[in-house]
């Protein structure tokens, strides 16, 4: 009997680290909530935003178009609220240790977040501009290929400057070794989507510059790393509210976290009543 007890103790001792290893370390969301989430009502819209975030299990949210709703949303969630300007904000289950924002306040907010166990990540919520409408029905057909590509030129220019400033800020602050997560509305598609094998889905091959800027800087496209096979309708974040428009992936979560695995990455575009935004939410779960 003694050896059975010893064997049981050994097996129980082996089970604990296995469960810990498989448990997600951090769940991150990128979401443009559309005019503060108020398109369907001053109160009911933000309440639905809270319900979507709560149901997702997100630990940290990179929000865009916060527009005055952020403090209430974080309060309802019991999260720390870290805004910058009116547009971008961070909502975190875990403590915000330091502001590391860069670039223009309308487009970028950053924070060092302390995770359970004491490890830290540098987290950024960003919003990038675009130069012309290419998503509404018929707008691409009216433009030459060069005009379509040029419609996202500003997003690439701003992103390159943001990445340079993030690197400089984190290095100067002694945070150069921290993992960096960037979540946001990029207002551009990805060169990982518009490829030769998906020509039937998208109509053409386009090496979108914005996504190339960030992947060339060493960032991983968290969603695409888990879903290498492109499915335009499954992957799209624009737009669950306007199905007649071009359906594209324009909201992203990128990271430089090589020792963390992406264990889940999905688009959220449903609510029991009505989904409150024109952008789907993107959630990524990391584990080590």
pLDDT tens for 181-200 read 999 999 999 999 999 999 99
- Asked if 255 and 219 touch (Cβ cutoff 8 Å), the reply is yes
CA nearest neighbour of 81 among 56, 127, 34, 113: 113
- Both tokens of 65, joined, read 């178009």
Q: How confident is the model at residue 37 (pLDDT cuts 50, 70, 90)?
A: very high
Crossing angle, helix 209-216 and helix 153-172, to 10 degrees? 20
pLDDT of residue 24: 53
155 three-class SS:
helix
pLDDT of residue 260: 97
Strand partners, 20: none
CA nearest neighbour of 276 among 27, 26, 55, 28: 55
- Asked if 190 and 221 touch (Cβ cutoff 8 Å), the reply is yes
DSSP 111-149: EEEEPTTS-EEEEEEEE---SS--SSTTTTTTS-HHHHH
283 three-class SS:
strand
Q: CA–CA separation, 26 vs 93, rounded Å?
A: 10
Long-range contacts of 201-204 (CB under 8 A, 24+ apart): 201/230, 201/231, 201/232, 202/232, 204/145
Q: Which residues contact 70 (CB under 8 A, 6 or more apart)?
A: 63, 81, 83, 89, 91
Decide: residue 261, CB within 10 A, 0-12 exposed, 13-18 middle, 19+ buried.
middle
pLDDT of residue 15: 35
261 three-class SS:
strand
Prior bond of 8 cis (ω within 30°): no
Convert the pLDDT of each residue in 131-177 to its tens digit.
Answer: 999 999 999 999 999 999 999 999 999 999 999 999 999 999 999 99
Number of Cβ atoms within 10 Å of the Cβ of 92: 23
Identify the structural domains of the chain with CATH numbers, from first to last. Answer: 24-287 (3.60.10.10)
- Both tokens of 273, joined, read 């009543």
Convert the pLDDT of each residue in 218-266 to its tens digit.
Answer: 999 999 999 999 999 999 999 999 999 999 999 999 999 999 999 999 9
pLDDT of residue 288: 79
> What sign does the dihedral 147-188-221-268 (CA atoms) show?
negative
């Amino acid at each position: 009997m003694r050896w059975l007890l010893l064997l049981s103790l050994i097996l129980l001792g082996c089970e604990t680290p296995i469960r810990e290893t498989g448990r997600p370390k951090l769940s991150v969301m990128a979401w443009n909530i559309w005019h503060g989430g108020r398109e369907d009502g001053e109160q009911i819209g933000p309440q639905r935003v809270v319900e979507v975030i709560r149901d997702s299990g997100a630990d940290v949210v990179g929000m865009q178009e916060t527009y005055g709703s952020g403090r209430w949303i974080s309060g309802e969630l019991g999260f720390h609220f870290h805004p910058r300007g009116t547009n971008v904000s961070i909502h975190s289950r875990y403590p915000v240790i330091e502001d590391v924002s860069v670039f223009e306040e309308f487009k970028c907010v950053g924070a060092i977040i302390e995770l359970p166990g004491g490890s830290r990540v540098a987290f950024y919520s960003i919003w990038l501009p675009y130069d012309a409408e290419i998503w509404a029905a018929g707008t691409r057909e009216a433009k030459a290929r060069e005009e379509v590509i040029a419609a996202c030129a500003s997003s690439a220019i701003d992103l390159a400057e943001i990445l340079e400033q993030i690197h400089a800020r984190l290095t100067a602050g002694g945070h150069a070794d921290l993992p960096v997560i960037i979540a946001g509305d990029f207002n551009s598609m990805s060169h990982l989507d518009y490829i030769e094998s998906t020509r039937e889905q998208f109509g053409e091959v386009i090496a979108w510059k914005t996504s190339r800027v960030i992947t060339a800087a060493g960032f991983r496209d968290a969603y695409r790393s888990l879903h290498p096979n492109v499915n335009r309708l499954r992957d799209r974040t624009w737009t669950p509210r306007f199905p007649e428009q071009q359906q594209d992936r324009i909201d992203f979560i990128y990271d430089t976290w090589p020792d963390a695995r992406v264990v889940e990455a999905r688009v959220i575009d449903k609510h029991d009543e009505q989904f409150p935004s024109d952008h789907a939410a993107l959630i990524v779960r990391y584990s080590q």
